């Protein structure tokens, strides 16, 4: 915890050093002798404990930011996202969307596997699921698709599933379409530049993912009746809810991240099915 403004500034510089080393691929190997700045960044991160020395490698908490298999370079996206968020906050913005492809891709790489893990855990408790996603015609709605990390992971796990990803950020839509094409899933995942408030389908989806922390309350309130109408009978709507960073408990009041990312704290939903 920072005790003075100097500490805050030092922490921001640590974040900068982390981003630089991630982009240079130097979080798990020694800095080249002809790059004194990279060497200084490594010494800084070793002093903070984020990197271990001999051999240079991330500590457990740093490595845990990324799911297994995701390259350490993706931490560059994490740093860029955090710095962009701070800039938006200080400029008085009330909503935020990534404005660099690297940041969009970071969310896809980190958020996609994490949300897929949550969905797999949740759906084992819901009658008819997860088998329902393996039936021909099964459909998933991915609200705030970002880089389409969630849709890609889910469609890989359920070969009969088709997905529609919605995002209002044109950059995210471009990155998502490219990720879907690279994954060879063009015929099963449609990415639309469309707000969740404009969902028009009726009885179309078996599973709906709604990232509440990224949606302002008025947007969520306008979207929920449309989402309900777009769900098939017995469908499941899963709404991500923020955890308080200090307590890891479900937030009852806005936290720093929910304030910055537009969402508000919402009470725990009583029933998971539509």
Ligand X SMILES: C[S@@+](CC[C@H](N)C(=O)[O-])C[C@H]1O[C@@H](n2cnc3c(N)ncnc32)[C@H](O)[C@@H]1O
Q: What residues make contact with ligand X under the rule CB under 6 A?
A: 97, 107-108, 111-112, 143-147, 149-150, 166-169, 172, 195-197, 211, 214-215, 219
Closest CB to ligand X among residues 84, 195? 195
Shortest distance, CB of residue 8 to ligand X, whole angstroms?
Answer: 25
Closest CB to ligand X among residues 21, 161? 161
Closest CB to ligand X among residues 149, 242? 149
CB 67 within 8 A of CB 114: yes
Closest CB to ligand X among residues 58, 153? 153
Shortest distance, CB of residue 66 to ligand X, whole angstroms?
Answer: 14
Closest CB to ligand X among residues 196, 227? 196
Q: What is the residue-wise DSSP string for 4-58?
A: SHHHHHHHHHHHHHHHHHHHHT-SSSPPPTT-HHHHHHHHHHHHHTSEETTTTEE
Shortest distance, CB of residue 238 to ligand X, whole angstroms?
Answer: 12
Shortest distance, CB of residue 110 to ligand X, whole angstroms?
Answer: 8
Shortest distance, CB of residue 141 to ligand X, whole angstroms?
Answer: 11
Shortest distance, CB of residue 4 to ligand X, whole angstroms?
Answer: 32
Closest CB to ligand X among residues 21, 189? 189
């Amino acid at each position: 915890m920072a005790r003075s403004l100097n500490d805050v500034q030092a922490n921001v510089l640590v974040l900068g050093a982390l981003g630089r080393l991630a982009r240079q691929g130097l979080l798990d190997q020694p800095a080249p002798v002809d790059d004194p700045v990279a060497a200084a960044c490594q010494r800084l991160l070793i002093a903070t404990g984020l990197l271990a020395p001999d051999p240079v490698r991330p500590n457990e908490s740093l490595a845990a930011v990324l799911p297994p298999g995701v390259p350490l370079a993706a931490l560059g996206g994490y740093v860029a996202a955090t710095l962009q968020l701070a800039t938006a906050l200080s400029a008085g913005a009330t909503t935020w969307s990534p404005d660099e492809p690297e940041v969009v891709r970071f969310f896809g790489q980190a958020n996609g596997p994490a949300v897929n893990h949550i969905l797999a855990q949740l759906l084992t408790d819901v009658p008819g699921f997860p088998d329902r996603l393996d039936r021909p015609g099964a459909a998933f709605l991915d609200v705030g698709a970002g880089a389409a990390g969630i849709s890609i992971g889910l469609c890989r796990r359920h070969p009969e599933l088709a997905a529609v990803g919605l995002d209002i950020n044109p950059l995210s839509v471009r990155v998502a379409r490219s990720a879907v094409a690279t994954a060879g899933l063009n015929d099963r995942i449609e990415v639309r530049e469309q707000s969740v408030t404009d969902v028009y389908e009726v009885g179309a989806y078996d599973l709906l993912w709604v990232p509440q922390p990224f949606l302002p309350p008025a947007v969520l309130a306008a979207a929920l009746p449309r989402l309900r109408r777009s769900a098939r009978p017995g469908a499941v709507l899963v709404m991500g809810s923020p955890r308080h960073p200090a307590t890891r408990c479900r937030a009852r009041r806005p936290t720093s991240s929910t304030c910055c990312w537009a969402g508000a704290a919402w009470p725990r939903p009583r029933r998971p099915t539509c």
